[in-house]
Amino acid sequence: MSIATPPVAAKIPHSFSHHGLTVSDDYAWLRDPGYPEVTDKTVLAHLEAENAWFESRMGERKPVIDALFKEMRARIKEADKSVPQKDGDFLYWIEFEEGAEYKKWWRRPVGAADDGSADELILDEVALAEGKDYFRLGAIAVSKDGTKLAWSVDDNGSERFTARIKVIATGEILPDEIPGTLSGLIWVKDDTGLVYSLANENWRTDNARLHWIGQPLENDVELYHEDDEGFRVGASLSANEKWLIISTGDHETGEVRLVPADDPLAEPLLVKPRQKGVEYDVDERDGVLYIHANDTHENFRLATAPLSDPGNWTTLIEGTDDFYLTGFDLFRNFYVTEGRVRGLDRIEVRYYDDPSRVEPIEFPEASYEASLGDNPEWDMSVLRVGYESMVSPASSYDYHVATRSLTLLKVQEIPSGYDASLYETARLEIAARDGTMVPVSVVWRKDRKSGGPLHLYGYGAYGIAIGPGFSTTRLSLVDRGFAYAIAHIRGGDDLGRAWYKAGKLEARTNTFNDFVDVAKGLIERGFTQAGKISISGGSAGGELMGAVINSDPELWGAVVAHVPFVDVLNTMLDEDLPLTPGEWPEWGNPIEDKAAFELIHSYSPYDQVKAQAYPPLMVTAGLNDPRVTYWEPAKWVAKLREVKTDANELILKTNMGAGHGGKSGRFESLKETAEEFAFILWQLGVEA
């Protein structure tokens, strides 16, 4: 299909004023007034026209897309399974069958022969997804006695999951059905109850609820309700499974309550009242609470308190500038802390009876990702650990605590072949314009020519670190002469909590500046040249893409923005949108704060589009996306088409049956990556 010209969105004058400042928004009409239902024929027609333009421009790239998809798929072991892990009386694992988009969940009794005769299929995602354009498993939980399974499914990308329960032995689906969940599923009271959270009409989990198995939903009990519209509620079990832990919080403040798991209707025990800016989480062992909190140091400390006096915290591990304590796990005879030192993961085994005894798990490479895997039992002597680097495929290990030794269980298999010796990786530090040294992880083939194309990825928000992990899809660029770099910019917590704070609120522009300065630093070091850099980011990383093409368009040869959060000011002004009140601690509240309004307006990519040449741009959106609503990228693309002065490609693809994560399924999602890479190769003139 060939279309001569791209769609042009109508301009309908619209403006709004706050704090004496007026902002024009001529594409506001692209927001369907009936959202979250999108039925406006004019809006849908425009999105379909953009999709047709996307197909027209990318249609001639189909041979390249198909070739990329084929090679990406060839790197995935189609018939694959995880390493079984013991939980109670059973060993559990997941398995992909040849050609399957989705996995199957299996178990067999401990001690049974590993010949398939005792294997029991407990959940079949393939069957559940059959006939559906979109499928995503939310929560899955086996009852404590091992007889029942609870799970939840989203089949349209809206992130509203329906929970069901079945008897594993017979496959009988119980009549219990809980629609609209957005949470885990927690078994309590000898498996007679299930704790969950509902998403309210604004897609906020402001509750923890108890469902009695076999009883109608109207008998469900609200265990906790959160009145602060910016907070979200979640529930979990303590490691020893004695306590139901009900947590609530936003991006900077937390509060925890404990309820006996065998008596969920008991009066909740408040650990410590919320204090603005203090986040904490809790677990319990032998009447002692362990509290991970940032009250005395922004990089968190670990404290203890008696269950009888839960707010009386005594430091066990001091917070420090050097070690960013990201979390902890309790076991019967020891506990484990996880964190980062100068951005690199660190796992340490520690002992209740000897605070000075600290045993870090040692790993072989200088730059890597490592974390505890699935360790479901209270009494464990061997820990499952995951490990990978930019050149080392994902590996599963058993760590034997007594001998401090690692046993390799499985290495990610790449059927089409992979030789790590062909590649090189480095962790660099590049000075930002304010003198701050920004870490950058880079991987390339050793036979790559200096100054060639480079792909730069970034996120930089919410204190989410982007680790130097392995990617099979990335090889499709690296094997074509690209260097691939991850910029560990401020706004993530790669280097600790201060690193996160230095990229949020009034410091938000540091994130954008860091990304640009990393690109310039890579040019100075001979990795690439201006105009030969492709960049990508999604969601808040899509906001990053929008900001840097406004500020430094000449640097980029191709840009891919996935579900980009680009209409920042409008979204932060709309407290009825699902995420907005909870986002104010991250971005600022422009409704109440004039300075926040002015700052957000000054960098909001949609508001700052101007008459200049822009690099080639591919944008994606999801019609059902509750996180970044579809109209943000649609409005942005419409405005760019109106004012940009170049003839470079600008294409928008809206997934009409998906949400924030794009298409579901392990191969369907690869097709979208193949489209992205085909666009990049096309725009940079790299032979496919």
Catalytic positions are: 539, 625, 660
Report how far residue 176's alpha carbon sits from residue 187's, in angstroms, rounded to the nearest whole number: 14
Q: Give the burial string for 127-162 (b: 16+ CB within 10 Å, else e).
A: ebbeeebbbbbbbbbbbbebebbbbbbbbbbbbbbe
State the DSSP H helix or E strand holding residue 608, giving kind and residue range, or none if neither.
none
With both helix axes pointing from N to C terminus, report the angle between 668-684 and 41-59 in degrees, rounded to the nearest 10. 60
- Tokens for 442, please give them: 């880079």
Q: Which parts of 443-593 fold into alpha helices (H)?
A: 475-478, 497-501, 509-524, 540-551, 568-573, 580-587
Structure-token pair, residue 123: 């959940």
CB 89 within 8 A of CB 109: yes
CA atoms of 459 and 468, how far apart (whole Å): 13
What's the N-to-C CA distance of the chain in angstroms? 22
φ, ψ dihedrals at 39, nearest 5°: -125, -5
CB 17 within 8 A of CB 594: no
Decide: 290 and 335 in contact? Cβ < 8 Å.
yes
Residue 529 contacts by C-beta under 8 Å, 6 or more apart in sequence? Answer: 451, 523
Q: Report the phi/psi class of residue 214: left, alpha or beta, with left for phi > 0 and alpha for psi in -120 to 50.
A: left
Residues with Cβ within 8 Å of 324's Cβ and at least 6 positions away in sequence, in order, are: 299, 300, 339, 340, 341, 493, 495, 496, 497
The C-alpha atoms of residue 289 and residue 282 are separated, in whole angstroms, by: 7
Contact 381, 332 (CB under 8 A): no
* Of residues 274, 214, 287, the one with CA closest to residue 247: 274
